[in-house]
Chains A and B, each alone.
Chain A
Amino acid sequence: MEMEPAIRARGLRRAFGDLRAVDGIDLDVPRGTIFAILGPNGAGKTTLLRILATLTRADAGEARVMGHDLAHEPDKVRAAIAMTGQFASLDEDLTGRENLVMLARLWGFGWRAARQRAAELLAAFDLSDAARKQVKDYSGGMRRRLDIAASLIVTPGVLFLDEPTTGLDPSARAGVWRLIRGLAAEGVTILLTTQYLEEADQLASRIAVIDHGRKIAEGTSRELKAQTGSGVLHVTPLDPGNRAIALGILGETAQADPEGARLSVPVADDTEAAAHLARLAEAGIRLAEFSLGAPSLDEVFFALTGKEAA
């Protein structure tokens, strides 16, 4: 029997008054993959996630999650998913340990097994030292870790993560990324939303770009980048003093990287890139480094929506 995808959605719609938060979205998320929903604030990402997690009812459309129909078997869907929302879904007055014991009990663990599972999760998430502290005294990073731990009491088929790294410092963000990759490696399907193009690029095997409740593009990071139809040549002159001359040779579309010595110029293909390199060589400008890359997702987003990404 062929395995159904983890998520299959068709024509999902949800309006709040006049606002069409989700306006006809189809989605296929294969099992065991990381799938990113990328879009600016207010694009409808959270509503889409909440619909798939049975928290918000769709006005129209249908979806199956881990083989169960969202509208007709919500309890079976709930048994197969876990969701970590954008705002900590924890009891702030309780300790980290008590939060996890409570949730383990709600998943059906006995008291002893619930305490055991809570201890395992606290250790796995490096929270053992804070186990007896009330959650309101946790830092943002600790809170997010506990919130994700709370979604892993049992192994979910699909884990929904709504902007999992928003508001985290770079090291906490890197930790969450490692965690997400680790879970995917264990076979958990992950559907995450993000405003960070880099995050989607780093984590997801497929990305859906959402704007105004509609899916405006979908594909692998590479495919999305290819949709702009061009690449970028990056060069770093060996002698930083030559940057201005090199910039002149590369032409009007070239840009200097504000922080480094690197110069970038959009090119249609490899032939054009080679021509640029040849002209630099003719002028006697030696290069420390050069590379031909796809455009960044920022550039892709701009090309798709005509707007700067949030």
Chain B
Amino acid sequence: MSAPLPQGPRPAPPSPASTSLTFAWRAVLKFKHVPEQLFDLVMTPIMFTLLFTFIFGGALAGSSTAYLQWFIPGILVQTTVFNTVYSGMGLSTDLSKGLFDRFRSLPIWSLAPFAGLMVGDMLRHTIAGAIILGIGLALGYRPEAGLPGILASFALLLAIGFGWGWIFIVLGLVVRTPMTVMTLGFAVLFPVTFASNIMVDPATMPGWLQAFVAVNPVSLMTTALRALMAGTAGWGEIGRALLAPAILTALLAPLVLWLYRRR
């Protein structure tokens, strides 16, 4: 081994933006080295899309094509919400491996590793959403609002992913193993996504359940996404969809910072 110490002077400390960019680069590298994670992300939603469209679609909406118009915005919300679990799992893995100890012993902006996680998440949501939308389009889904509707929908999906992501970052910080994060995540997300208007019109549900579905944040997000895709969205719908992500961010971001510093 030759002399490992650097000869030149130390560089100036990096800005928070540059630091976050580096963590984002790491997220991109993860996609390059672990492409199979994409499979995990889109397998279930693809299966759901095919099952619901062809098996239940006719019974629920008269025809598969008609059902697609209803279902695709919903499954996009579901995909995004479910995929937030993975950032919590990734975080839990990093913590158990001691990688975060390395980050925490560096003189960098202390939220940068989380900002990096978020950037990775945004990337994940965009890719998974694009794949699901692509399949929908191939099956005959036609958003009335066209490309602008799709772009607006994806912007909303990213906001939803950002807000919900905090839940699993908190779990990732508190729970010891990545598998537990996943199990806990699915235990919460399955009821919340099924008891919503993603798959079926809640009109046939019992009254007490309808009351829940009406205020379920997942329903509010799905309604807004449908309206964006159809080109009929008003600020009220968008505002209601963003309510849960905004509240989650306001409550959980400080909690994440506190948990992270306390460790």
Which residues from chain A sit less than 8 Å from chain B, CB to CB? 50, 53-57, 75-76, 78-79, 81-83, 85-95, 98, 102-103, 105-110, 113, 117, 120-121, 123-126, 134, 149-150, 152-155, 175, 178-179, 182-183, 186, 188
A134 to B35, CA, bound (A): 14
From A75, A78, A110, B11 is in contact (CB under 8 Å) with A110
A50 to B33, CA, bound (A): 31
Stretch at the interface among B101-109, B153-161, B182-190: B101-109
B4, A88: Cβ atoms closer than 8 Å: no
A179, B1: Cβ atoms closer than 8 Å: yes
B44 at the interface (CB under 8 A from A): no
- How many residues of B are counted as interface, with CB atoms below 8 angstroms from the partner's CB atoms? 34
A107 to B29, CA, bound (A): 19
Task: Tell me which of B11, B99, B103, B262 has the highest count of chain A C-beta atoms within 10 A of its own C-beta.
Answer: B11
Q: A54-B104, A94-B29 are in contact. List 6 more A-B contacts (CB 8 A).
A: A55-B101, A105-B25, A109-B11, A120-B6, A183-B5, A186-B3
A126 to B2, CA, bound (A): 9
B6, A89: Cβ atoms closer than 8 Å: no
A78 to B103, CA, bound (A): 10
From B3, B14, B98, B262, A85 is in contact (CB under 8 Å) with B98
From A81, A88, A117, B105 is in contact (CB under 8 Å) with A81
From B3, B98, B107, A88 is in contact (CB under 8 Å) with B98
B97, A88: Cβ atoms closer than 8 Å: yes
Question: Given A55-B105, A89-B98, A124-B1: A117 and B10 within 8 A (CB)?
Answer: no
Interface string of B230-249 (1 = CB under 8 A from A): 00000000000000000000
Which residues from chain B sit less than 8 Å from chain A, CB to CB? 1-6, 10-14, 18-19, 22, 25-26, 29-30, 33-34, 94, 97-99, 101-108, 262-263
Which of chain B's residues have a CB closer than 8 A to the CB of A188? 5
B98, A108: Cβ atoms closer than 8 Å: no
B1, A102: Cβ atoms closer than 8 Å: no
B1, A56: Cβ atoms closer than 8 Å: no
A83, B102: Cβ atoms closer than 8 Å: yes
Which of chain B's residues have a CB closer than 8 A to the CB of A152? 4-6
A190 to B3, CA, bound (A): 16
B26, A94: Cβ atoms closer than 8 Å: yes
Q: Give, as a whole number of angstroms, the nearest-CB distance from A90 to chain B.
A: 7
Which of chain B's residues have a CB closer than 8 A to the CB of A178? 1
From B4, B94, B105, A54 is in contact (CB under 8 Å) with B105
Q: Give, as a whole number of angstroms, the nearest-CB distance from B261 to chain A.
A: 8
A113, B105: Cβ atoms closer than 8 Å: no
A103 to B26, CA, bound (A): 10
Question: Given A75-B107, A94-B33, A107-B106: A87 and B98 within 8 A (CB)?
Answer: yes
A108, B12: Cβ atoms closer than 8 Å: yes
> Which residue of the partner chain B has the closest CB to A91?
B99
A52 to B35, CA, bound (A): 39
A108, B101: Cβ atoms closer than 8 Å: no
A83, B105: Cβ atoms closer than 8 Å: yes
Which of chain B's residues have a CB closer than 8 A to the CB of A87? 97-98
B262, A57: Cβ atoms closer than 8 Å: yes
Question: Given A106-B14, A107-B14: A91 and B105 within 8 A (CB)?
Answer: no
Q: Give, as a whole number of angstroms, the nearest-CB distance from A202 to chain B.
A: 18
Which of chain A's residues have a CB closer than 8 A to the CB of B105? 53-55, 78, 81-83
Which of chain A's residues have a CB closer than 8 A to the CB of B102? 83, 85, 89-90, 103, 150
Q: Give, as a whole number of angstroms, the nearest-CB distance from B240 to chain A.
A: 39
From B5, B26, B98, A155 is in contact (CB under 8 Å) with B5
Q: Give, as a whole number of angstroms, the nearest-CB distance from A118 to chain B.
A: 11
From B29, B33, B108, A106 is in contact (CB under 8 Å) with B108
Which of chain A's residues have a CB closer than 8 A to the CB of B11? 107-110, 113, 154
A86 to B101, CA, bound (A): 11
A79 to B108, CA, bound (A): 9
A33 to B30, CA, bound (A): 39
A85 to B13, CA, bound (A): 23
